[in-house]
Structure 1
Amino acid sequence: MADKTDEATETAAGAPADGQAAGGRAPSRRSLLGWGGAGLALGAVAAGGTAAALRAGNDVQPAGADATAGAAVAFHGPHQAGIATAVQDRLHFAAFDVTTDDRDELIALLKEWTKAAARMTAGDAVGDGAVGGLAEAPPDDTGEALGLPPSRLTLTFGIGPTLFEKDGKDRFGIKDRRPEALIDLPQFPGDNLDKSRSGGDLCVQACADDPQVAVHAIRNLARIGFGKIAIRWSQLGFGKTSSTTPDAQTPRNMMGFKDGTRNIAGTDTAALDKHVWVGEGDEKGKGGWMAGGSYLVARRIRMHIETWDRTSLKEQEDIFGRNKGEGAPVGRKNERDEPHLKSMLPTAHVRLAHPESNGGIRILRRGYSFTDGTDGLGRLDAGLFFLAYQRDVRHGFVPLQQKLSQNDALNEYIQHVGSAVFAVPPGVRKADDWWGRELFA
C-alpha cells in the first residue's frame, strides 16, 4: 500500500502466496515454529485489548481517497500508506524490540513482513492461509479475519533510534546511517513517561475501518517474527480525532471538541511535499535513504477526564479557543472560518498550535481516542493517542511541543505518559521490494 497522493503509481495490492494450497504440500517454515509463535500473537492481542475483523474484496483504492466501505488501499507506491491516506476509524499500533543480533535474520524478517503486509492489505490470508493445511501444524494465518473485507487496512512501518545503536553498540552495522532528523526527543515540561509504553526498535501502525482487521494484521506480524522480535508495547485506538479529508466532518476527541480542523489534506501534494515527505536533498549521504519517507512521533496522552467533566463550558471553550457545538474559532460562526488568534486567550490551544504562531510549522496528525479501562482509583484511563508525521522532527513536533508544554491551558487536564519517534521509510514500489531496503542496501 502506498500513499498515492495525486501521483500515478503502481497499485499492485498483493504478492504471490508463499506456497501451494491444501493437499500434499510440505509444511511452511512458519508452520513448523509450533504453538510458541501463536502464543506470542495471542500475547500481542492481549496487550492491545479488544478486537473485531478483515478479508477479501479486490477493489483497490488510492491511498489519498476518501473512505469506501470494504475497499483495499493500494500497498505499492512512492510513499507508505497510512500517512496521507484518508484516516480510518480504528487503530492497532505496536512497537517491537528486535531480539536477534543477526543482520541477515532481520533483513529476512523485513522481507517476510512486507510480503505478508501486501497480502493482508489486499484482503488475502498470510502465506498458505488459515485452513486446508497440515492438521498437525499451526496454519500460516491466524484466521480471525476469514470472510471479512480489507476494510481499507493500511500497515505503516517505522524504525526507531535504538535499531541503529543501543547501549553503545552498533547492532546491525547501520549506526552511521542514522538520519540526523531521527533525534531522541527531549524531556518536555509535564512529561511523566512510562518506559514500558515508550520507545521501540521497530513499529507498525495498522489502521482499518474494522478493529478486528487491524488486530489481525499486528497479530500475524508478531507471529511471523517469533524468535526475532517481541512486542514492547501496543495501543488500540478508535474514533479518529483528526482527518486528512477536510471536506469530511471533523471528528471529536474524548473532551468533546473538534481538534485538527486545519490538518494537512491527503490530496494537498504541495503541503505534503513541504511539510511531510523527506526531500531528496534533505540528508545527503547517511540519511539519503529516507527520501520519500517521513518521521513519526507517537505520544500517549492521558486526559484527566473526571476533572474535565467538572469544568464549566465557558472555560472549556476558552481553553481550546473553539466553541463546543459547531467547533468554530472564538468569534467566528463556522468551524472552518479563519481564526482570529488575538481574540483568543494567550493560553488557548488553537492559538498556540496555529501555524501563524509558529513560523508556518505544520504537521500531519492521525490521532485516535483510547479507553483502557480504569486505574486503581476508579478513574477512566482514556485520552488521545497522538500520531504526527513530519519532514523533520527537529522543525516540526519539537518546537510545537516546547511551546505547548509551557503555555497551553490544556496542560491542566492532560499528561503525556508514553512517547516514541520513528523514521518511516519510503514506500514499497514493486513486488520484490521490502520495508527498509534503502537502509540496508
Structure 2
Amino acid sequence: MNDTPAADSGPTPAEPSAAARPAVSRRRLLGAVGAGAAVAGAAIGAGGVLAARDHGSSDDAGHGAPAGSASDTAATVAFRGGHQAGIATPAQDRLCFATFDVSPTASRADLAELLTSWTEAAEAMTLGRPVPGDVGDLNTPPDDTGEAVGLTPGRLTVTVGYGPGLFDDRFGLAARRPSALKPLPQLPGENLDPANTGGDLCVQACADDPQVAFHAVRNLRRLGFGTVVPRWMELGFGRTSSTSPQQATPRNLMGFKDGTRNIDATDASLMGAHVWIGEEEPQRWARGGSYLVSRKIRMRLEQWDRDRLGDQQDVFGRFKSTGAPLTGKAETDTPDFAAKDGSSYVIPADSHIRLAAHENNNGLRILRRGYSYTDGIDPQTGDLLGGLFFVAFMKSPDRFVTLQRVLGAHDALNEYIQHIGSGVFAVPPGLAAGQDWGRQLFG
C-alpha cells in the first residue's frame, strides 16, 4: 500500500432547454417505479458516512452559493478532454465507487441509451447542476434526487470503466475488447468475497464533499433502472495517496504516510510510460484510456494497534512520525536499500517499501488513488471493520498482478491485512465535444 507505485475549469455552458433533453423511456420509467424502495434504502444506509461532512472546512466554503457563482466555478473539474477526469486529477477527499451488472433483459440499444444518458447527467453534475429533465412534472419521478441542491460541485469527477464480462456475446462487443482486459488470476493471500468483486461497469465519483459524490452515483443508478443492476458499492472517507506534488501525503488507518513515492500525475512522461494506454493497443478506441484495478483490503486494526512501534516501522520500512525511510530523515528521501546494520538490512528484506519499490521491480509503477473505508463493527468480535479501498490506474492489469504476487507472498504487512474484494476495468479515454460514452463504446 505505502509506496506502491486537473483539469482547468472552463466557462459554464448554457443548460439545455427542455425541448432538447431526451425523454425518459417508458421502460426506464416503469423500472423506476419498481426500484424506488431499493434506492431509498441505499440512501439511508449511507447516511452515517454522509453525516460526517465537515461544513466548517475550507473546501465547503461555497455551500449554499447560487449555481454559476465564482465559488462554483472554482470548484469544478472539466468533464471533457483527452483523458477522463478522476485519474490525473489531484485526488479529492471523498469517494463513492459502485459497480453494476447489465440486466439479463437489457439489449444492446438499452445499454447504448443508458451510457448516453449517463454522459449528459455526469457532465451536468460535475458543473453543480441537477440532472437534466422535465423539471416540475408532477406526474413523473423527479429527474434529480435533490440532495446536492445548494452544494458546490466540490471538484466532482465521474469516471466510468468496463469489466471483462461486458465484452462477451451479449452486446456484440467481443471484437472491441481491449487487449489486456481479462479477469485477474488468483493471487497469494486473498480471500475474495463475491459480494465485493467483479462487475460489468464501474463508476468512480470523487469529490471534496461525500454527499456530492454519493449524489452522482445515486443518480446514475436511478437512470439505470431496468438496464443495470447494482453489484457492490464502497464509500471512501479519506484519500490515501497524493497524485500531485502540491498535495501533502495523507496517512492510512495504520497511521503511516501512504503513497509517498506515487507517480506524479502532472508528469506527462511518467503518465505516458506507466498509466495511459498507448499505440501498443490494437483497439484504437481505447487508446488514451487506462486500466483500473480495485481491491478492498481489510486491516486487522486491533492486532496492529497492539504491535510495538519498532515492529510497525520495520513492517513499512519508514518512521511513523515523519514518513521518512528508515535510512533517511525526510519523507521524500530516496530509500537506501543497500544500507546495513551489521548483517541485517536497515530497511528489512520483507518490508513493504522495499518490496513495492520500482527500483526492485524492474521499474514497474502504477498510479495509486485509494481511500480509507469503514464497515462499522464486527458484531461477533467487536473489532473495527475497516481498511484500504485500493484503486490504481495502469497501462495493463498485468502490472498489478506482477506486483501483488511479490507483495502477497513476502510482505510483512500481510500479517495485518487481507484482500477481500476485487475488480478490474478498462477505463476509456476522455470525451471530445459532442461525444458520449454510448457512441464511444459501440463505435
**TM-score using structure 2 length:** 0.88
Q: Does 1:88 align with 2:92?
A: yes
* Aligned counterpart, 2:3: none
Q: 2-side partners of 1:15 and 1:299: how far apart?
A: 39
What are the Cα deviations for residues 136-188 of structure 1, in whole angstroms up to 9, with x where unaligned? Answer: 322100000101100000000000001112xxxx1101112212211211111
Q: 1-side partners of 2:70 and 2:441: how far apart?
A: 28
Q: Does 1:304 align with 2:300?
A: yes
* Aligned counterpart, 1:320: 316
Matches within 5 A, 1:389-400: 389-394=393-398, 396-400=399-403
* Aligned counterpart, 2:220: 221
* Aligned counterpart, 2:117: 112
Q: Does 1:210 align with 2:206?
A: no
Q: Does 1:74 align with 2:70?
A: no
Q: Secondary structure of the equivalent of 1:83?
A: coil
- 5+ unaligned residues in a row in structure 1: which ranges? 62-67
* Aligned counterpart, 2:442: 440
Contact 2:314 2:348 in 1 (8 A): yes
The amino acid of 1:420's aligned partner reads G
Q: 2-side partners of 1:111 and 1:303: how far apart?
A: 39
Identity over aligned residues, as a percent?
A: 54
Q: Does 1:172 align with 2:177?
A: no
What are the Cα deviations for residues 245-302 of structure 1, in whole angstroms up to 9, with x where unaligned? Answer: 22321000000001201111221111111111111x2122xx2221000000000000
Q: Secondary structure of the equivalent of 2:335?
A: coil
**TM-score using structure 1 length:** 0.88
Q: Does 1:245 align with 2:248?
A: no
Q: Does 1:283 align with 2:286?
A: no
* Aligned counterpart, 2:343: none
The number of equivalent residue pairs is 415
Change (3 A) 1:18 1:111: farther
Q: 1-side partners of 2:141 and 2:205: how far apart?
A: 24
Matches within 5 A, 1:141-152: 141-152=144-155
- 5+ unaligned residues in a row in structure 2: which ranges? 1-5, 54-62, 339-345
Matches within 5 A, 1:344-359: 344-359=347-362
* Structure 1 range deviating more: 341-350 or 248-257: 341-350
Q: Secondary structure of the equivalent of 1:242?
A: coil
Change (3 A) 1:197 1:346: same
Q: 1-side partners of 2:298 and 2:152: how far apart?
A: 33
Contact 2:256 2:323 in 1 (8 A): yes
Q: 2-side partners of 1:18 and 1:39: how far apart?
A: 30
What are the Cα deviations for residues 82-112 of structure 1, in whole angstroms up to 9, with x where unaligned? Answer: 0010000000000001104310110000000
Q: 2-side partners of 1:59 and 1:268: how far apart?
A: 32
What are the Cα deviations for residues 358-379 of structure 1, in whole angstroms up to 9, with x where unaligned? Answer: 0111100001000110123211
* Aligned counterpart, 1:334: 330
Q: Secondary structure of the equivalent of 1:230?
A: strand
Q: 2-side partners of 1:101 and 1:70: how far apart?
A: 39
* Aligned counterpart, 1:65: none
Q: 1-side partners of 2:200 and 2:253: how far apart?
A: 30
Q: Secondary structure of the equivalent of 1:295?
A: strand
Contact 1:319 1:410 in 2 (8 A): yes
Q: 2-side partners of 1:145 and 1:327: how far apart?
A: 37
What are the Cα deviations for residues 7-61 of structure 1, in whole angstroms up to 9, with x where unaligned? Answer: xx9957668436269xxx9985589445435334334435656325888654899
Q: Does 1:409 align with 2:412?
A: yes
The amino acid of 1:148's aligned partner reads L
Q: Secondary structure of the equivalent of 2:216?
A: helix
The amino acid of 1:364's aligned partner reads L
| TM-superposed deviation, 1:135 | 2.5
Contact 1:13 1:76 in 2 (8 A): no
Q: 2-side partners of 1:409 and 1:403: how far apart?
A: 11
Q: 2-side partners of 1:417 and 1:429: how far apart?
A: 37
Q: CA RMSD in A?
A: 2.6
Change (3 A) 1:220 1:111: same
What are the Cα deviations for residues 222-242 of structure 1, in whole angstroms up to 9, with x where unaligned? Answer: 001100011100000011000
Q: Secondary structure of the equivalent of 2:203?
A: strand
Q: Secondary structure of the equivalent of 2:437?
A: coil
Contact 1:59 1:72 in 2 (8 A): no
